[in-house]
Amino acid sequence: MIERTLVLIKPDGVARGLIGECVKRFEQRGLKVVGMKMIRPDAKLVGDHYTDDLEWLTSVGRKTKVSYEKKGMKMDKPDVEIGRYVRKWLMDYLASGPVVALVLEGHHAVEIARKLCGDTEPRVALPGTIRGDLSVESYMIGDEKQRPVKNVVHASGSVKEAESEMKVWFSENELCSYERVDWAAIH
């Protein structure tokens, strides 16, 4: 099942010189880079990416709470409220420096890219994943510093999300079609 997905190397990944390291991991797993650009996003672009969507806000808040509870800590705020302040932080953060946007194509591209990124919270992300190998960040550090968790990359969470996110960052004529010579050996 050939899919396309959107990946962002976030400002922390770019500033730390991790562009090549991230791209390498996606390429060597067998995903084809069909779109790539560096961009300094403005507030509108970032707002179009992290939309003010109740489902997303609730899911971000819930994930944070579960992680706190697993560590024996309690968070009393409603999920949506946590989601709202994370969105505000994220919008400021993503617009704070250059981002590298990628469209990756391949079998199960959405699922594979997401797995290569690892858990949202690098503290619990498995070694072997981008976040698990390249960051020690946690929700607690983010909270303490009043900023989002710096976790190097973003990857679309579903095929539907990938479709809308690709449209936010790329126009159709910015995506390229070409053959990878190792394709036949991989598949």
Nearer to ligand ADP, 30 or 142 (CB): 142
Q: How far is the CB of 22 from ligand ADP (least distance, A)?
A: 14
**First-to-last CA distance in the chain?**
11
- x-or-dash pattern for ligand ADP, window 2-41, by CB under 6 A? ----------------------------------------
- C-alpha of 180 from chain center: 25
Q: Tokens for 42?
A: 């403005």
139 lies in the site for ligand ADP, by CB under 6 A: yes
Binding ligand ADP (rule: CB under 6 A), the pick from 6, 90, 101, 109 is 90
What number of chain residues touch ligand ADP (CB under 6 A)? 14
135 is a contact residue toward ligand ADP (CB under 6 A): no
Interface with ligand ADP (CB under 6 A), residue from 63, 101, 112, 116:
63
Q: Which residue in the set 22, 148, 162, 165 belongs to the binding site for ligand ADP (CB under 6 A)?
A: 148
- Would you list the DSSP string of the chain? -EEEEEEEE-HHHHHTT-HHHHHHHHHHHT-EEEEEEEE---HHHHHHHS---HHHHHHHHHHHHHHHHHTT----S-HHHHHHHHHHHHHHHHTTS-EEEEEEEEETHHHHHHHHH--SSTTTSPBTBHHHHH----HHHHHHHTS----SEEE-SSHHHHHHHHHHH--GGG------TTHHHH-
154 is catalytic: yes
Does 129 participate in binding ligand ADP (rule CB under 6 A)? no
Stretch that binds ligand ADP, among 11-19, 30-38, 39-47, 56-64 (CB under 6 A): 56-64
Residues 25 and 181 sit within 8 Å (Cβ to Cβ): no
The strand pairing partners of 154, in sequence order, are 8
- Per CB under 6 A, the list member of 6, 57, 86, 110 interacting with ligand ADP is 86
CB of 64 to ligand ADP, least distance (A): 3
Q: Which residues participate in catalysis according to the annotation?
A: 154
Q: Which residues bind ligand ADP (CB under 6 A)?
A: 60, 63-64, 82, 86, 90, 120, 139, 142, 148-149, 151, 154, 157
